[in-house]
Amino acid sequence: MKKLSLILVFSLVMLVNTQFVQATGENTPDIKSESAVMIDAKTGDILYQKNSSEQMYPASITKIITGILAIESGKLDDSVVVSSDAVRAEGTRVYLMEGEQVPLKKLVQGLLINSGNDAAVAIAEYVAGDVDSFADQMNAFAKKVGAENTHFVNPNGLFDEEHYTTAEDMAKITQYAMKNEEFREIVSTKELPWVGEGWETTLRNHHQLLWDYEGTIGVKNGYVDESKHTLVTAVSRDNLDVIIVTLKAPTSRAAYWDTMALGDYGFANFERQTLSAGTKIEALNGKTYPLKEDLAVTLPKGEEPVQEVSSDGELQLKDSSGYVLLSHTLFKEKEKEKEASATVDSKSVEPVDSTFMQSVVKASIFLYSGLLLLLAFLVILRMRSQKHKHKKMRQVARSYVK
């Protein structure tokens, strides 16, 4: 009995310690997935990572890119004629029929909710003309959002050695996609009636955490033998929005448990902090500059961002380890030069002003002298004219005397 009591006391101590560690942010989850990352969906700050830059096979989370490209094509209301190649797509399908006409938006819904590989091919062919051209668009899109270690060859994620990504890249891609309201609405849809020529059913979203984890708003799961289980999840809770990517989990359950563990860790230990527009930041030159916009960073709870301003006017917000979370231009070099020229010593300006004034005085004297000479010349001419007139009048007067 005494031994049992000791065990219970020890267990209670361990439980208290575990809760304390979680509260202080030190209980980094031990996850089963080979690669993972968690970022703040608003700021992009990394809250957790495990082999996040290692190249992996994505499987059906590829469809996140296919979906956002289709939405941004501006053709969602168009009717797509399904090809024979789309119908023959392997794996999960929404059972399209060759020649069937389906709105592009409905294909995107079948793609993201039910993971339809046939819908993916139909989308690619309609948006870009063929699968290869669509893959080129996918790769261009990846580069645009900063996914530098990613390469796609198909729109559905079926295995190919040249079809790969990283957890970090998928987080960036998803961060971009989730800013689109149409995309958010589709990936958060739990169930959707589906009526097609080859299939009539109710689609049920394959992302199980929409039901099982508070705050989940999508986005996509995947599986092929070579990639194992992949999962991308967006969760919003407690004024924090996170995107969690887990790659190569051994089982579906492991992928979900890893995601929930990371979510719990993130919400328990991190918070988003905002420096509001108008906040005055002191620079190295001793001057203060007001922020022109809100700046947000995500840090462990209780930690303040470290502010540093470089000589060229760049504000950096860092965490306690020195990692740069955000860079923002307070003032530009041209503004700095303008300030410097405005504070030049007045003595250095005097010679310029003195020379200018001397030139003005000389020009004035020259102009005044010229006017005097002209006036004198006119006076002389008038005097000579008057003298000549008087002489003539005297001659006329003498003629009358005679």
Catalytic residue numbers? 60, 63, 115
CB 309, CB 356: distance < 8 Å: no
β pairing state of 101-103 and 35-40: unpaired
274-277: long-range contacts, CB 8 A cutoff, minimum separation 24: 275/305, 275/317
Cα separation, 256 vs 252, in Å, equals: 6
Cα separation, 259 vs 56, in Å, equals: 17
Measured in degrees and rounded to the nearest 5, phi and psi for residue 140 equal: -65, -40
Cα separation, 246 vs 235, in Å, equals: 14
For the chain, give the longest Cα–Cα distance. Answer: 172
Cα separation, 339 vs 330, in Å, equals: 14
Cα of 195 vs its chain's centroid, Å? 38
